[in-house]
Structure 1
Amino acid sequence: MSTEQLTIHAVGAEGDGIARGEAGPVFVPFTLPGEDVAVARVKNQATALSWSKLSADRREPACKHFGPEGQGGACGGCSLQHWADQPYQAYKRDLVIQALRQHRIETEVLPLFACAPGERRRVTMSGRPTDKGLMLGFMQAGSHHIIAVEECPIAHPGIVGRLPAIRRIAGALASGADPFRVTIQLTASGLDLAFDDMKKPDQKKRQVAIDLCLKEKGVARISVADEILVEPHKPVVMFDQIPVVLPPGGFMQATERAEQAMAELVVAHVGKAKRVADLFAGCGTFSLRLARKAHVHAVEFDGPALAALDHAARNTQGLKPVSIERRDLFRRPMQAMDLKQIDALVFDPPRAGAEAQVRELPRSKVARIAAVSCNPTTLARDLAILIDGGFKLKSVAPIDQFLWSSHVEAVALLER
């Protein structure tokens, strides 16, 4: 390990400050462009020890758990709380622009849709029993060490206010010293707590957790490895006023406002299309909204998610027909013949993108595509394939539903 002085000239794709070292770039977390810092460095990774010059864009973090270890922080949930809004938002938008430029794509990139603190309705925490009680929080960046948290400014108050109850329930279920994960989702009917990587609790532990759940207000369901332990209320999420009962571990977008912004872009782009395919449809975030005006074919590999979508469509009056298909689009993408009656198409894949699927779309007669992605890198790759196949990219909208992180959502609209 060596100690040296560095000047930060940019923030990288992972949220770390970047300095120009003699052997190449050096990455320094929690630093900003224009800052002069003394660092301890191992190869191209460094830790800031002190600052001789601070950026004018630096501000006080919103959370006491944020920052380098030993300086009051170490929580790995956020990486950019210390940056002022304007440069931070410009950085988020530029992540999308730079990803597009890597594939020589020039198009209109809309202003960033910014989310506010306290809007995250879905967070995943880590926990582990200790001699001093249950530790519940987020992993420290670059390690498997859990940082117990007492506050979280990105999370909805409906989650933060129930952290003591969540900790009690997790403590009742956990055993041994192995870490586990709990996905916490705030639904219209209460918290949905989905535990994973946890040893199956015995009957005594199950009963204690069930009793706690029934005693605590605001908990709709507890599940362990997709097995429902107790469900005082069906966890319901609303997609354009259409109620959907989430399956255990079911996915919903991180913030409600971001979801609405994405849906508005998708629905407007599809326009008057009579038949729409929604690929990687999940529980119906877009399918159910689109079904107000179009026949929708929803394709998804997750069986419980698809069943939730189907149930919601069948039990909502006024929708156009919604057909469903369980299909692994990575191994068996939709072919041109499968899409021969489809006018417009939406896809919202995992971070790996939809390369196999998009290679088939230029062969179809689909006229409009809305591509939704949480990874600008794979989105740009997929867009390049579609553009080479004859589609015209109209615009890309960056959406910041992962506040103070280096992750950004985007919606791209194409036509031909």
Structure 2
Amino acid sequence: MSTETLVINALGAQGDGIANGADGPIYVPFSLPGEKLAVARVKDQATIMSIATPSPDRIEPACRHFGPDGVGGTCGGCSLQHMEKQAYNAFKRSTLIAALKSKGIETEIAPLIEAHPGERRRLVFTARKREKGLLIGFNQPASRHIVELEECPVTSAGILARLDDLRGIGAAIATGSDHFRMTVTETTTGLDVSLDGVRGGLPDRERRAITETVLKMRGIARVSVNGEIVIEPAKPLLDFGGALVSMPPGAFTQATRPAEDAMSALVLTHVGKAKKVADLFSGIGTFALRLARQAQVLAVESDEKAVKALDLAARGTQGLKPIKTERRDLFRRPLMTSELKGIDAVVFDPPRAGAEAQCAELARSQVKTVVAVSCNPLTLARDLSILIDGGYKITSMTPVDQFLWSPHLEVVAALSKG
């Protein structure tokens, strides 16, 4: 380890400051362009020791867990609380611009749809049992150390108000000091609490303990352990445009309701008057159930429980046009060009790996409208380049901030052919 002085030239895609070193770039978390810093350096990674010249864009962080002097490094939940809002928004947009540029794509980009404090309805905590109760929080960066949660400005009030209940639930289940994950989702009927990585299964004594614990609480819809439902006082329901979905334990859903609503509105606008729509990587129906208000929908998803939840919601909702569901691994078996005949529009929202194989088939198809929803600008740029080579033109590109004070970005892009 060496101590030296650096000047930050830019921010990288992960939000780290980048300085030019004699042997290449040096990455400095929690720094900002223009800052002169004293750092402790190991190879191409450096830690701030002191700030000689702070950036005018540096502000006081909103949360005590972010770290001393706004330098960060205590809680691993946020990485950009030290950055002024306009500069932060510009950085978010710049990550999309850079990703598109890497594939030679130039297009107009709409203003960022902003995220705000208190919107996160889905979080994944790390927890472990200790003598004085359950420790719950986020891992310190590059560490297994859990920073105990006392406040969290990104999280919804409904989750924060039940932190003590969550500690009680975890303490009733955990039998040792091993770390485990606690995924908490705020639904219309209460919190869905899914614990994973709990070793030793769930003996009868712990099962009784968690049942007795939850029955004394209000606002807990369900508790599951390693995918098994232990107690369900109420079906945890999510509202997708008036269609109520009973989500499987720990199922994926968008992290904030405002971002979900914004992305859904964009999807519906871009699909327009299409009569037959394919919703690929459909999950539990975030877009499919809304699309079915105006079009016939083919919803394709690999997860069996998600497909069943979507199908059940479709059958139980009045006023929808037909939704056909199919369980299928679109990475290994994308919808072929022949199967896309008769489809007017395709919406896809894949995991971070993107939809490369599916886009190769879409590029050869005659589908008029494609709407790409992505949580990874880099794989999105790759997928869009495939579609552009196949004759599609980008008609809209909107960045959506769903993960406040992090480098992550959602994007909704629309393309047309013919």
Same fold (TM over 0.5): yes
Alpha-carbon distance between aligned partners in 1 of 2:73 and 2:336, rounded to the nearest angstrom: 50
Matched, 1:34 2:34: yes
Aligned equivalent of 2:17? 17
| Other structure's SS at 2:211 match | helix
| Other structure's SS at 1:413 match | strand
Aligned equivalent of 1:94? 94
Alpha-carbon distance between aligned partners in 1 of 2:18 and 2:132, rounded to the nearest angstrom: 39
Q: Which amino acid in structure 2 is aligned with residue 401 of structure 1?
A: Q
Aligned equivalent of 1:140? 140
* Alpha-carbon offset, residue 67 of structure 1: 2.4
Alpha-carbon distance between aligned partners in 2 of 1:195 and 1:215, rounded to the nearest angstrom: 19
* Alpha-carbon offset, residue 70 of structure 1: 11
* Alpha-carbon offset, residue 68 of structure 1: 6.0
| Other structure's SS at 1:360 match | helix
Q: Which amino acid in structure 2 is aligned with residue 82 of structure 1?
A: H
| Other structure's SS at 1:109 match | coil
CA RMSD for the aligned pairs? 1.3
Q: Which amino acid in structure 2 is aligned with residue 86 of structure 1?
A: Q
Alpha-carbon distance between aligned partners in 1 of 2:380 and 2:6, rounded to the nearest angstrom: 34
| Other structure's SS at 1:323 match | strand
Q: 1:368-390 CA distances to partner (integer Å, 9 max, x unpaired)?
A: 00000000000000000000011
Alpha-carbon distance between aligned partners in 1 of 2:70 and 2:61, rounded to the nearest angstrom: 15
Alpha-carbon distance between aligned partners in 1 of 2:49 and 2:363, rounded to the nearest angstrom: 53
Preserved CA contact (<8 Å) 2:30 2:71: no
Aligned ranges 1:58-97 → 2 under 5 Å: 58-67=58-67, 74-97=74-97
Alpha-carbon distance between aligned partners in 2 of 1:71 and 1:283, rounded to the nearest angstrom: 39
Q: Which amino acid in structure 2 is aligned with residue 153 of structure 1?
A: P
Alpha-carbon distance between aligned partners in 1 of 2:81 and 2:138, rounded to the nearest angstrom: 15
Alpha-carbon distance between aligned partners in 1 of 2:303 and 2:332, rounded to the nearest angstrom: 14
- The TM-score with structure 2 as length reference comes to 0.97
Alpha-carbon distance between aligned partners in 2 of 1:69 and 1:43, rounded to the nearest angstrom: 25
Q: Which amino acid in structure 1 is aligned with residue 178 of structure 2?
A: D
Alpha-carbon distance between aligned partners in 2 of 1:211 and 1:384, rounded to the nearest angstrom: 55
Aligned equivalent of 1:7? 7
Alpha-carbon distance between aligned partners in 1 of 2:302 and 2:276, rounded to the nearest angstrom: 21
* Alpha-carbon offset, residue 8 of structure 1: 1.2
Aligned equivalent of 1:172? 172
Preserved CA contact (<8 Å) 1:9 1:18: yes
Aligned equivalent of 1:354? 355
Count of residues in Structure 1 that have an aligned counterpart in Structure 2: 416
Q: 1:311-339 CA distances to partner (integer Å, 9 max, x unpaired)?
A: 11111111100000000000111001111
| Other structure's SS at 2:353 match | coil
Change (3 A) 1:263 1:72: closer
Aligned equivalent of 1:332? 333
Q: Which amino acid in structure 2 is aligned with residue 374 of structure 1?
A: C
Aligned equivalent of 2:161? 161
Q: Which amino acid in structure 2 is aligned with residue 49 of structure 1?
A: M
Moved more, 65-74 or 216-225: 65-74
Q: 1:176-202 CA distances to partner (integer Å, 9 max, x unpaired)?
A: 221100110000000000111112121
* Alpha-carbon offset, residue 130 of structure 1: 2.4
Aligned equivalent of 1:393? 394
* Alpha-carbon offset, residue 121 of structure 1: 0.4
* Alpha-carbon offset, residue 73 of structure 1: 5.7
Alpha-carbon distance between aligned partners in 1 of 2:260 and 2:411, rounded to the nearest angstrom: 11
Alpha-carbon distance between aligned partners in 1 of 2:325 and 2:62, rounded to the nearest angstrom: 44
Preserved CA contact (<8 Å) 2:109 2:398: yes
Alpha-carbon distance between aligned partners in 1 of 2:132 and 2:28, rounded to the nearest angstrom: 33
* Alpha-carbon offset, residue 69 of structure 1: 11
Q: Which amino acid in structure 2 is aligned with residue 328 of structure 1?
A: D
Change (3 A) 1:70 1:274: closer
Alpha-carbon distance between aligned partners in 2 of 1:70 and 1:118, rounded to the nearest angstrom: 20
Preserved CA contact (<8 Å) 2:71 2:82: no
Q: 1:246-292 CA distances to partner (integer Å, 9 max, x unpaired)?
A: 11111110111101110111111111111000000001000011100
Aligned ranges 1:11-410 → 2 under 5 Å: 11-67=11-67, 74-199=74-199, 200-410=201-411
- The TM-score with structure 1 as length reference comes to 0.98
Change (3 A) 1:77 1:97: same
Preserved CA contact (<8 Å) 2:48 2:71: no
Change (3 A) 1:44 1:277: same
Alpha-carbon distance between aligned partners in 2 of 1:414 and 1:20, rounded to the nearest angstrom: 38
Q: 1:211-265 CA distances to partner (integer Å, 9 max, x unpaired)?
A: 1111111100000111100000100000112111111111110111101110111
Residue segments in structure 1 that go unaligned for 5+ positions in a row: none
